[in-house]
Amino acid sequence: MATQPMAPTHAVVHSHHVPRRRQCVRRRGIFIRSAAAAAASSVVPTDTLSAAFWDYNLLFRSQRDECPDPVPLGVTEGAIPPDFPAGTYYLTGPGMFSDDHGSTVHPLDGHGYLRSFRFHPGDGRVLYSARYVETAAKREESGDGDGASWRFTHRGPFSVLQGGKKVGNVKVMKNVANTSVLRWGGRLLCLWEGGEPYEVNPCTLKTLGPFDLLGLAGSDDKPPPRENASARRTQRPWLQEAGLDVAAHLLRPVLSGVFNMPGKRLLAHYKVDPRRGRLLMVACNAEDMLLPRSNFTFYEFDAHFDLIQKREFVVPDHLMIHDWAFTDSHYVLLGNKIKLDIPGSLLAVTGTHPMIAALAVDPSKQSTPVYLLPRSPEAEARGRDWSVPIEAPSQMWSVHVGNAFEEENRRGGLDIRLHMSGCSYQWFHFHRMFGNFGTAQKQLLILHLHVAARTITE
């Protein structure tokens, strides 16, 4: 199994799915379980490595039941502070991993399972509810949505169907809305890495339908005109760039028409700028996964989802970006370098290997490129060539980014501090991204970027 998980531990275990001796789940130092389970026993089990291991494995156990009606939970250790703010904590993640016909999918292809915890500190109540996000794929695979019998028909990017169609199955883009949840502008959205978000009723958790955040509904697959004239800067000869343009033009209709990939692949990780009151999102082009060139479009929305700013950049590198950061002046991308795997691509087409087998990590450089993309024309006017990255001294595969901020150094220049989690390329594998519980191969890092000197210290 792989060396470190790609996604946060999103799943919450229902008390009726957990063995009696492990009826509670630790959440930030407080044990929460159903009131009925709390009454059954007043003994809180001691955490051990073995118990933690089984708790971790329960994250990948299919949830067959929904809980649309709120259920009161009891606190079995500690207490909810009296000044704890009243509100709702939403949590999403994969909930269905195995169907009734012999197929088990990768966790990243598991159907999105949304939970809510409604805190009422005044009377000490916590109400829990949970429902699946009713995506098109979920309705198809769960028997018209009733959940009585599941049959996986979509391959998804990371899975191989054991009990379903393999050869000729082009259902790769399985939008399961399982990666993150967003509360913004009075709406609740569940996002996935590669498709449009799904809107959910924040009170009942009932799915309302797809939400066209980028305004791409009904558009063709031609890329929109770039709004910032300097979006493309390249260090390649013009003939190579022309060849990539032709390849992208040929790939788009194939990816869209055959594999149902949207022209713009929205990343599931969003950012909020509280000072300006903006929601920040980023999208990539569908063909970026197959070509040594990456297109990034950044969107900034106000509190009503009105588009305030859109900026586009073409980076001359083959990158896979899962998470990113921003500062007052820049969008920050840590370059996870990938390459096309030709043997893996042929195996993926046969259906005997997942589609992600077409890609492999590219460890050819021993450093990590960090791209600082100007967030405004004023930042761009400072003259720094944003298409040339600042190289971090060690080779890291970036998993998640915690925070980034700017500060003025003693020479009057600009420095950026970046908090992130990552691992070495030698520990990362697309096919096996979960497992090896207890290993310490994933690291929390703080990078100090010296913008003027184009250096990074760790």
**Annotated binding-site positions for Fe cation:** 322, 400
Burial class (CB in 10 A: 0-12, 13-18, 19+), 454: middle
Say if CB 22 and CB 28 are below 8 A apart.
no
The alpha helices in 92-184, defined as continuous H runs, are 136-141
Binding site, by residue number, is 322, 400
Give the Cα separation of 283 and 303 in Å (integer).
Answer: 20
**φ and ψ at 131, to 5 degrees?**
-150, 155
Give the integer Cα–Cα distance in Å for 8 and 292.
Answer: 29
Number of other residues whose CB lies within 10 A of the CB of residue 420? 23
CB 324 within 8 A of CB 297: no
Distance CA 141, CA 148 (A): 10
Supply the DSSP string of 248-306, one letter for each residue. Answer: HHHHHHHHHHTT---SEEE-S--EEETTTTEEEEEEEEGGGGTSS-EEEEEEEE-TTS-
Alpha-carbon separation of residue 193 from 87, 116, 260 (angstroms): 27, 22, 14
> ∠ CA(252), CA(253), CA(255), 5° rounding?
65
Residue 199, number of CB atoms within 10 A of its CB = 20
Report the C-alpha gap between 154 and 170 in whole angstroms.
8
Closest CA to 457 of 390, 411, 397: 390
For 309, the token pair is 């700013």
Q: State how far the Cα of 120 lies from the Cα of 345, in Å rounded to an integer.
A: 52
The percent of the chain in helix, strand and coil, each rounded to the nearest 5, is 15, 35, 50
Alpha-carbon 203 to chain mean position: 24
